[in-house]
Amino acid sequence: MAEIVNLNQFRKTKVRESDQQQAVENRIRFGRNKAEKENDRRAAERRETLLSGKELEKPGQEKPEGDGQK
């Protein structure tokens, strides 16, 4: 025979596990000191600067019609 399961208890266990997973993610995301946050901000800024410097053309920028020679 099948095992009898209390669905309310099963639901609460599932919610508790998802809450614990969310807590782990929040500890990683928000549980950092000021220096670590500043370091991550600078690293993201540097990545963005390096990437934008390698773009061939900027979004929204029109191509020049010609180089002035005929």
Separation of CA 7 from chain center? 35
One digit per residue, pLDDT tens: the chain, 70 residues?
788 889 999 999 999 999 999 999 999 888 888 998 899 999 999 999 998 888 887 667 666 666 656 5
32 C-beta neighbours (distance < 10 Å), count = 13
Looking at the domain assignment, is residue 29 inside a domain?
Answer: yes
Q: How far apart are CA 13 and CA 8, in angstroms?
A: 9
Looking at the domain assignment, is residue 44 inside a domain?
Answer: yes
Looking at the domain assignment, is residue 64 inside a domain?
Answer: no
Number of domains comprising the chain:
1
Looking at the domain assignment, is residue 65 inside a domain?
Answer: no
Q: How far apart are CA 56 and CA 47, in angstroms?
A: 17
Instruction: Please state whether the predicted TM-score (pTM) of the whole model is above 0.85.
Output: no
Q: How far apart are CA 50 and CA 42, in angstroms?
A: 12
Domain housing 45? 18-50
Looking at the domain assignment, is residue 10 inside a domain?
Answer: no
Looking at the domain assignment, is residue 5 inside a domain?
Answer: no
Looking at the domain assignment, is residue 35 inside a domain?
Answer: yes
